[in-house]
């Protein structure tokens, strides 16, 4: 293959995890470096530390792909007084690029939580907390002869996806009226003459971040000089994106057996958990990272257990004995994200040097 640029790697990951899905507080994207630089190798890690930078240099990898950004709050100076500043300085000195996909890859259906759910063997997976107010409806009016070409242009631009279905639209025939002014060149009828044209009202749905691309495609495919269209924000939840996953175990387990299964699967040194009074575990909710805020979602989804990280003491009371809360740790709940990045990149660039970091960047240690 030809030269691989940093922007090629970024484009590949962001196609899977669109940057528009990151939370407002987040700092996804290229952290340091030039996106036009040629890539000699890619090192994948959960966190970026000095040790990870040293590993990248030793492995001849000049691009680091991480889950956690170097900073959420930003950098105002580079003096080397903080760990983040020293990491930035070392990366710049050694001409390393660092790219991070954080809450955007948390928010996609087969992202961070989906990988954990797969590891636990959960079936019939759905998003635990679907995104709100993220869908738009496009309504446009097309001459009968041009309906197919306009619809396909909209679908190709990202519209028309509902769950596992694509090319979704609603169409109803009607009549459009117009009169073009002196400076027009109407597709149908004559300028300055009132005209009635058989048209089809086409409705389709799209995620908010496809709006510009879909509107551009509409203008390019529509035969009218001035196509009429409406974009309507929807209150529907978007079940293809959001945080956490809920699914079912193949077979029910006792709470103890489930915790042992969880401990073995995630290789965690410690599981902080609540007591449980509802018998066996069958339905399980998971959220990679700090998912304690989704406890009510897990209970509302009928989960017998909720697996996440970073629960505070008082939050353990909120299960009220009706759900098993299992805090396996932040790092442990996100550790398989490295393998997700690896799969995304090796599927696209199978013959390129893409490595998983051999370092455990978890700052929390356990005394067994």
1 pLDDT more than 70: no
Alpha-helical regions (H) of the chain:
6-16, 50-58, 83-93, 103-106, 112-120, 147-156, 211-221, 255-266, 295-300, 330-334, 337-348
What domains can you pick out in the chain, each with its CATH number?
6-106+336-356 (3.40.1390.30), 112-130+242-328 (3.40.1390.30), 135-236 (3.30.70.120)
278 pLDDT more than 80: no
Q: Which residues contact 169 (CB under 8 A, 6 or more apart)?
A: 151, 154, 155, 160, 202, 203, 204
C-alpha gyration radius of the chain: 25
What is the number of other CB atoms lying within 10 angstroms of the CB of residue 301?
A: 20
Bridge partners, residue 354, by sequence: 42
Residue range 115-121: average pLDDT?
98
Residue range 355-365: average pLDDT?
95
Q: What is the largest CA-CA distance in the chain?
A: 86
Read off the pLDDT of residues 208-257 as tens digits, 9 standing for 90 and up: 999 999 999 999 999 999 999 999 999 999 999 999 999 999 999 999 99
pLDDT band at 276 (very low <50, low <70, confident <90, very high): confident
pTM: 0.91
**CA-based nearest residue to 4, from 97, 101, 143:** 97
Residue range 137-163: average pLDDT?
97
What is the β-pairing status of strands 238-253 and 281-290?
antiparallel
Strand locations in the chain (E): 29-32, 42-45, 63-66, 97-100, 123-131, 135-143, 170-178, 195-207, 229-233, 238-253, 272-273, 281-290, 305-309, 324-327, 354-356
pLDDT number for residue 159:
98
Least confident of 243-252, 268-277, 329-338: 268-277
114 pLDDT more than 90: yes
Q: Lay out the sheet containing 29-32: strands in order across.
A: 29-32, 97-100, 63-66, 42-45, 354-356
Measured in degrees and rounded to the nearest 5, phi and psi for residue 360 equal: -95, 105
277 pLDDT more than 80: no
How many Å apart are CA 170 and CA 142, to the nearest integer?
A: 13
């Amino acid at each position: 293959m030809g030269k691989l640029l940093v922007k090629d790697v970024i484009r590949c990951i962001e196609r899977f995890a669109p940057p528009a899905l990151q939370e407002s507080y987040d700092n996804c994207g290229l952290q340091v470096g030039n996106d036009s630089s040629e890539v000699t190798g890619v090192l994948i890690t959960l966190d970026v530390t000095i040790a990870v930078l040293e590993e990248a240099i030793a492995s001849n990898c000049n691009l680091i792909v991480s889950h956690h950004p170097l900073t959420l709050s930003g950098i105002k100076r580079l003096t080397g007084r903080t760990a983040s500043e020293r990491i930035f300085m070392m990366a710049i000195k050694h001409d390393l690029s660092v790219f991070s996909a954080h809450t955007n890859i948390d928010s996609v259906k087969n992202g961070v939580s989906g990988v954990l759910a797969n590891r636990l063997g959960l079936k019939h997976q759905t998003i635990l907390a679907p995104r709100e107010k993220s869908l738009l409806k496009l309504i446009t009016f097309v001459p009968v002869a041009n309906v197919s070409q306009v619809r396909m242009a909209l679908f190709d631009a990202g519209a028309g996806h509902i769950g596992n279905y694509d090319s979704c639209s609603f169409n109803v025939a009607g009549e459009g009226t117009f009169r073009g002014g002196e400076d027009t060149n109407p597709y149908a009828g004559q300028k300055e003459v009132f005209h009635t044209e058989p048209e089809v009202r086409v409705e389709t749905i799209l995620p908010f971040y496809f709006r510009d691309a879909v509107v551009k495609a509409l203008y390019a495919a529509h035969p009218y000089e001035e196509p009429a269209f409406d974009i309507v924000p929807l209150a529907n939840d978007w079940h293809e994106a959001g945080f956490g996953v809920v699914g079912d175990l193949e077979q029910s387990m006792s709470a103890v057996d489930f915790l042992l299964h969880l401990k073995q699967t995630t290789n965690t040194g410690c599981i902080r958990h609540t007591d449980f009074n509802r018998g066996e575990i069958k339905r399980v909710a998971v959220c990679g990272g700090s998912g304690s805020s989704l406890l009510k979602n897990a209970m509302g989804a009928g989960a017998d257990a909720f697996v996440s990280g970073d629960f505070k003491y008082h939050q353990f009371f909120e299960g009220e004995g009706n759900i098993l809360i299992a805090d396996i740790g932040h790092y442990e709940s996100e550790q398989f994200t490295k393998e997700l990045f690896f799969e995304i990149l090796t599927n696209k660039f199978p013959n390129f040097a893409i490595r998983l970091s051999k370092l455990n960047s978890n700052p929390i240690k356990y005394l067994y």
